[in-house]
């Protein structure tokens, strides 16, 4: 087991990882930019190293500074959290060259899943159902038009290197295709330096359902059930729950078994998420994330497992101590992402938190990196915390969530808390009947 871990991240996730390290008796090293000197993840770590100025490109994304911080502090492993360098295969390779462990899968698996076309081909080979579409990248517009006729419209043009919804364009009809292809290509070229695009059937009213997996890299893997992340704004998740209100236990066991077997066959190490769109009883693979997800706590609440501890154990080479039968699902959990944003316009609202009171009580968890008097810097993501609530069943979970939201006080800045207070009284949300377009439509209502 490692004695000292460097956490290459900030905010709530850096604190979340520190908590796991402390429980395992592992020393923690925080890194921070000059804008984060007063951050909680710096204050609570055993050691901290300033790695550069405020812009992430010169600090949290600066690989030489991170490697130097490992050398100075003698950290034996790096946990990348999510975002930043968490899915950067080159970072994993460089750490390996410096004999520092990367808490995550191998660089080879990160690379494989980072390329959406290769990921989709791999998923299909391993028996995972995929969205019908082109076989790999499409070449000329003429070739694309031929393939598109076979798939049928509407369809999506997607960037092979895409992420965060960028490089993705909808073509409703054949007339839209040339424009969709050229805008997706140029967006992908400028964002990812790669203009390879592929075509996919557009699913009209799917839910976003993702399966959490855990493997040891030695050929053993389990699934930890699914999360429903269908409430999205601009392809970004806003609210997540586990289990999905749309699945029955037979469907859950079936897709879970397919995914766990695929991940075991791949000899995948650590935690990972296989994302699907789900429509009319069918699952369609869209991508695999080779890291810890923002929404991992809902899975922790219903399984009682600490996913970060499992990541650290598997990265240290330990075989999986769990079999599928050891995983028991209990109750229901919901997460609300609390962003420092206007709850109607979603414009960021950095500034100083003048008053901060978090909800508590049975089944309530708040993962956050902020405190009263803290000034949110304008340079980073607007997520300032997550409210996660657990109940015996979905109904109890919603009752508890309503209560917890009413207790949460954050003054001095705007947050998305009022949006959640509204949403959980909406009949569709109460009944669990929503697809990936539900929230966008709700936000556009007069």
Q: Is 203 in the site for ligand ADP (CB under 6 A)?
A: yes
Q: Is 275 in the site for ligand ADP (CB under 6 A)?
A: yes
Q: Which of 339, 345, 418, 348 is nearest to 384 (CA)?
A: 339
DSSP string, 39-71: -HHHHTSSEEEEEE-SSGGGTTT-HHHHHHHHH
Contact range with ligand ADP by CB under 6 A, out of 187-195, 201-209, 301-309, 415-423? 201-209
Q: Is 165 in the site for ligand ADP (CB under 6 A)?
A: yes
Catalytic residue among 16, 291, 313, 400: 291
3-state secondary structure of 74: coil
How near is the Cβ of 259 to ligand ADP at its closest, in Å? Answer: 16
How near is the Cβ of 113 to ligand ADP at its closest, in Å? Answer: 11
Q: Quick one: residue 444, left, alpha or beta (phi over 0 = left, psi -120 to 50 = alpha)?
A: alpha
- Residue of the chain from 76, 287, 335, 414 that contacts ligand ADP (CB under 6 A): 287
Q: Is 67 in the site for ligand ADP (CB under 6 A)?
A: no
Please give the Cα distance from 292 to 104 (Å, whole number). 8
Please give the Cα distance from 117 to 126 (Å, whole number). 14
How near is the Cβ of 236 to ligand ADP at its closest, in Å? Answer: 8
Q: Which of residues 401-440 bind ligand ADP (CB under 6 A)?
A: 436
Q: Is 163 in the site for ligand ADP (CB under 6 A)?
A: yes
3-state secondary structure of 202: coil
Question: CB-wise, 417 or 439, nearer to ligand ADP?
Answer: 439
For the record, the structure tokens of 324 come out as: 């599928």
Q: Is 156 in the site for ligand ADP (CB under 6 A)?
A: yes
Please report, for the chain, how many H helices and E strands are present, in that order: 15, 20
Q: Is 208 in the site for ligand ADP (CB under 6 A)?
A: yes
Question: CB-wise, 168 or 307, nearer to ligand ADP?
Answer: 168
Q: Is 357 in the site for ligand ADP (CB under 6 A)?
A: no
Please give the Cα distance from 393 to 331 (Å, whole number). 5
Q: Are 81 and 6 in contact (CB under 8 A)?
A: no
Q: Which of residues 213-242 bind ligand ADP (CB under 6 A)?
A: 232, 235
How near is the Cβ of 429 to ligand ADP at its closest, in Å? Answer: 17
What is the spatial order of strands in the sheet that 207-216 belongs to? 282-289, 269-279, 207-216, 221-233, 236-242, 332-339, 383-391, 364-368
Question: CB-wise, 44 or 191, nearer to ligand ADP?
Answer: 191
Q: Are 88 and 66 in contact (CB under 8 A)?
A: no
Give 175: exposed, middle or buried? Use CB within 10 Å, 0-12, 13-18, 19+.
Answer: exposed
- Residue of the chain from 131, 184, 401, 424 that contacts ligand ADP (CB under 6 A): 131
- Residue showing tokens 């993840």: 41
Question: CB-wise, 173 or 395, nearer to ligand ADP?
Answer: 173
Q: Is 380 in the site for ligand ADP (CB under 6 A)?
A: no
- Residue of the chain from 277, 288, 333, 376 that contacts ligand ADP (CB under 6 A): 277
> How would you classify the pairing of strands 236-242 and 332-339?
antiparallel
291 is catalytic: yes
Q: Is 164 in the site for ligand ADP (CB under 6 A)?
A: yes
Tell me the residue length of the chain.
Answer: 446
Question: CB-wise, 321 or 443, nearer to ligand ADP?
Answer: 443
Contact range with ligand ADP by CB under 6 A, out of 31-39, 198-206, 264-272, 348-356? 198-206
How near is the Cβ of 387 to ligand ADP at its closest, in Å? Answer: 22
Q: Which of 223, 444, 316, 343 is nearest to 4 (CA)?
A: 316
Q: Is 200 in the site for ligand ADP (CB under 6 A)?
A: yes
- Residues in touch with ligand ADP (CB under 6 A): 131, 156, 162-165, 168, 200-203, 206, 208, 232, 235, 275, 277, 286-287, 436
Catalytic machinery residues = 291
């Amino acid at each position: 087991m490692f004695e000292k871990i460097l956490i290459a991240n900030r905010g709530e996730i850096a604190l979340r990882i520190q908590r796991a390290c402390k429980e395992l008796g592992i020393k923690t090293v925080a890194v921070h930019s000059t804008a984060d000197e007063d951050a909680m993840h710096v204050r609570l770590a055993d050691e901290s190293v300033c790695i550069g100025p405020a812009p992430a490109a010169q600090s949290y994304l600066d690989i030489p500074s991170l490697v130097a911080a490992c050398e100075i502090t003698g950290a034996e492993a790096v946990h990348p959290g999510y975002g930043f360098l968490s899915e950067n295969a080159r970072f994993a390779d460089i750490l390996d060259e410096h004999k520092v462990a990367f808490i995550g899968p191998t660089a080879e698996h990160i690379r494989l899943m980072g390329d959406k076309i290769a990921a989709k081909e791999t998923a299909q080979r391993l028996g995972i159902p995929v969205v019908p579409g082109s076989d790999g990248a499409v070449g000329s517009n003429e070739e694309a038009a031929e393939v598109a006729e076979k798939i049928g419209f509407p369809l999506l043009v997607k960037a092979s290197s895409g992420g965060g919804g960028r490089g993705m364009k909808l073509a409703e009809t054949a007339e839209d295709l040339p424009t969709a292809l050229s805008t997706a290509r140029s967006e992908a070229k400028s964002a990812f330096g790669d203009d390879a695009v592929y075509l996919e059937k557009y699913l009209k009213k799917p839910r976003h359902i993702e399966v959490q997996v855990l493997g040891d890299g030695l050929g053993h893997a389990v699934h930890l059930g699914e999360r429903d992340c269908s409430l999205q704004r601009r392809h970004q998740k806003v609210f997540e729950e586990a289990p999905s209100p749309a699945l029955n236990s037979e469907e859950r066991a079936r897709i879970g078994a397919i995914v766990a077997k695929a991940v075991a066959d791949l000899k995948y190490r650590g935690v990972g998420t296989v994302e699907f769109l789900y429509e009319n009883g069918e699952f369609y693979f869209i991508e695999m994330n080779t890291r810890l997800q923002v929404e991992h706590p809902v899975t922790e609440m219903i399984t009682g497992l600490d996913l970060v501890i499992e990541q650290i154990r598997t990265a240290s080479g330990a075989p999986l101590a769990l079999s599928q039968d050891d995983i028991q699902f209990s109750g229901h959990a919901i997460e609300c992402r609390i962003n420092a944003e206007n709850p109607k316009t979603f414009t960021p609202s950095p500034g100083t938190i003048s008053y901060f009171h978090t909800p508590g009580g049975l089944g309530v968890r708040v993962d956050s990196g902020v405190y009263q008097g803290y000034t949110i810097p304008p340079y980073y993501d607007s997520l300032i915390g997550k409210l996660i609530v657990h109940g015996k069943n979905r109904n109890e979970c919603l009752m508890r969530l309503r209560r917890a939201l009413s207790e949460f006080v954050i003054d001095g800045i705007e947050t998305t808390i009022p949006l959640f207070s509204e949403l959980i009284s909406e009949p569709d949300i109460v009944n669990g009947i929503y697809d990936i377009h539900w929230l966008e439509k709700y936000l556009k209502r007069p």
